[in-house]
Amino acid sequence: MSTPRTLAESTTLRIGGPASAWVVARTESELVLAVTRADAEGIPVLLVGGGSNLLVSDEGFAGTVVEIATRGLAADTDESGATVTIAAGENWDTVLAHLVTRGWAGVEALSGIPGRTGATPIQNVGAYGQEVSQVVHSVRVLDRTTGAVRRLDNAACGFGYRTSVFKRDPARWVVLSVSMRLISGGRGFVRYAELAQEMGVSVGDEASLADIRAAVLVLRGRKGMVLEDADHDTWSAGSFFTNPIVTDEVAVAIAADCPRYPAAEGVKLSAAWLIENAGIAKGFALAADSRAAISSKHTLALTNRGNAHAADILDLASAVTTRVRDAFGIELDIEPTLVGLER
Ligand code: EPU
């Protein structure tokens, strides 16, 4: 089954030309077959889930898009919780709504994130004090170097801030399903200051999963991070830059009001703060009639104001990184995957 369409129709940035071929994989075996067949024939493959982390060239993709549309959720329950296995193609937020209804805790703060479940371990999705790496039990994958289907346990996934073995070696792995270990009881902990403030509780307090989910959806909506057709602030790939992790020496030189968080290899600084304090305000665009602009609700989101080309986004990204480099000597890294493009 092949349905050629443009990547603009399948990405949240709504940018990108057509693909040479398009396969919608609705079962795991269709997914494995589509990728292994293309690999055997030497045809490039672009895996697309929700398209929420992709910036694709206007020329499109000279190869086969394999759209991950697999479905299924199975729960293995015990006295303390559940091990839930979710097909890669399941819409992440639909899954979250279900998990919260079942009272299973561990990912409620990741509510409202666009995209499909299989993408979440790849960039170790995180928000409001949780990261999927904290609950991933194992990930079932196709290893394209051998054609074998394997299960990687949490340690083998090599998780870090917005990274994993899947992100480091994208040509090797296809995520087929994700198993997560969740805790029963319907309550979770609030671990992010802004979320606690929104809920009128303190960091570390307990709250119902439904209340946490509702508050996260309000916060994300306010930041333009919940997809909304009519709101161009949401035509984005979420955070376009990761928060830079710098050494203690670099961090002390940055003004104290820049939010910072401890990280494995140093200090994580707020990229949004650095961008704003380098002189780029919310809503910034390179020209009055630019088709790309910084979101008017969050400086980390680069947005398509309608009919933007990939180059418009890249030019804006380059202006942001230049200004931050000039102001602070810090190099911002791009978070979304670039397809057919170079920075
Ligand atoms: N800030 C600004 N300007 C803004 C927004 C934020 O100066 O427009 C400053 C504020 O001082 C704020 C601080 O940055 O206190 C942190 O902002 P926020 O809580 O929005 O978090 P973030 O670090 O900008 C990260 C993730 C988001 C995630 C939020 C909430 C990354 C790259 N981004 O953003 O994830 O939703 O935390 O936990 O780590 C994504 O990765 O696509 C994403 C949306």
247 and 206, same domain (yes or no): no
| Mean pLDDT of all residues in 259-271 | 94
Q: How far is residue 59's CA from residue 315's CA, in Å, rounded to a whole number?
A: 17
For the CA of 128, the closest atom of ligand 1 is: 38
The answer, yes or no, to whether any atom of ligand 1 lies below 6 A from the CB of 197, is: no
Tell me: do 180 and 295 sit in the same domain: no
User: Which residues, in sequence order, are CB contacts of 288 under 8 Å at separation 6+?
Assistant: none
pLDDT at 126: 97
Q: Is residue 100 part of a domain?
A: yes
| Of 174, 194, 222, the domain-final residue | 222
Q: CA of 26: how far to CAs of 23, 66, 144, in Å?
A: 9, 10, 19
Q: Which pLDDT score is estimated for 5?
A: 81
pLDDT of 38 above 60: yes
Does residue 6 have a pLDDT over 90? yes
- Over residues 16-28, the pLDDT tens digits come to 999 999 999 999 9
Task: Please give the single-letter amino acid code of residue 211.
Answer: D
Mean pLDDT of 225-242: 97
**pTM score of the predicted model:** 0.96
283 lines ligand 1 (CB under 6 A): no
Check if the beta carbon of residue 179 is closer than 8 Å to that of residue 140.
yes
What pLDDT, in 10s, does the model give residues 296-340? 999 999 999 999 999 999 999 999 999 999 999 999 999 999 999
Sheet holding 266-269, edge to edge: 245-246, 266-269, 260-263
At 96-152, the pLDDT tens digits run: 999 999 999 999 999 999 999 999 999 999 999 999 999 999 999 999 999 999 999
In the chain, the number of structural domains is 3
Average of per-residue pLDDT across 248-274:
95
Nearest CA to 51 out of 119, 4, 5 is that of 119
Q: Are residues 151 and 14 in the same domain?
A: no
Specify the pLDDT at position 193: 96
Residues 27 and 131 in one domain: no
Domain match, 173 and 208 both: yes
Taking the centre of ligand 1 as the mean of its atom positions, its distance from the CA of residue 257, in whole angstroms, is 15
Ligand 1, closest atom to CA 113?
44
Element (H, E) at 331: none
Q: Is the pLDDT of residue 4 over 80?
A: no
Separation of CA 249 and ligand 1 centre (Å): 23
pLDDT band at 274 (very low <50, low <70, confident <90, very high): very high
**Any domain includes 2:** no
Q: Does the residue 110 lie in any domain?
A: yes
Query: Average of pLDDT values for 76-103?
Result: 98
- Assess if residue 197 is contained within a domain: yes
Q: Do 247 and 162 lie in a common domain?
A: no
Q: What whole-number distance in Å separates Cα of residue 274 and Cα of residue 280?
A: 9
Q: What is the pLDDT of residue 343?
A: 84
The answer to whether residue 1 sits within a structural domain is no
121 shares a domain with 14: no
Does the C-beta of 123 come closer than 6 Å to ligand 1? no
pLDDT over 90 (residue 186): yes
Ligand 1 near 259 CB (within 6 A): yes
Token pair of 201 as six digits: 């509780």
120 lines ligand 1 (CB under 6 A): no
Residue 44 lies in a domain: yes
- Over range 222-227, report the average pLDDT: 96
- 196 and 321, same domain (yes or no): no
**Ligand 1 pocket test: which of 123, 195, 239 has the largest number of ligand atoms within 8 Å of its C-beta?**
239
Residue 62: which pLDDT band, with cuts at 50, 70 and 90?
very high
- For the chain, the 3-state helix, strand and coil shares in percent, each to the nearest 5, are 30, 30, 40
Determine the atom of ligand 1 nearest the C-alpha atom of 237: 42
Q: What is the CATH number of the domain that holds 172?
A: 3.30.465.10
Catalytic residue (choose from 57, 179, 239, 295): 239
Q: What does residue 176 show for φ and ψ, rounded to 5 degrees?
A: -100, -40
Residues 135 and 46 in one domain: no
Of the three residues 18, 43, 68, the one that is the final residue of a domain is: 68
Cβ proximity of 114 and 12 under 8 Å: yes
For residue 162, pLDDT over 70 is answered with yes
The DSSP element (H or E) to which 12 belongs, if any, is none
Q: Quick one: tokens of 161? A: 């801030």
Per-position DSSP letters for 232-286, written without gaps between them: GGGSS-S-SBPPPEE-HHHHHTS-TTS-EEEETTEEEE-HHHHHHHTT--TT--S
Mean pLDDT score across all residues of the chain: 97
* Cβ atoms 27, 70 nearer than 8 A: yes
For residues 38 and 26, what is the distance between their CA atoms, to the nearest angstrom? 17
pLDDT at 3 (0 to 100): 64
Last residue of a domain, one of 68, 88, 119: 68
Eight-state DSSP code of residue 333: P
Q: Which domain holds residue 325?
A: 232-339
Looking at the domain assignment, is residue 227 inside a domain?
Answer: no
| Number of the ligand 1 atom closest to the C-alpha atom of 239 | 42
- The fraction of the chain above a pLDDT of 90, given in percent, is 97
* Residue 330's CATH number: 3.90.78.10
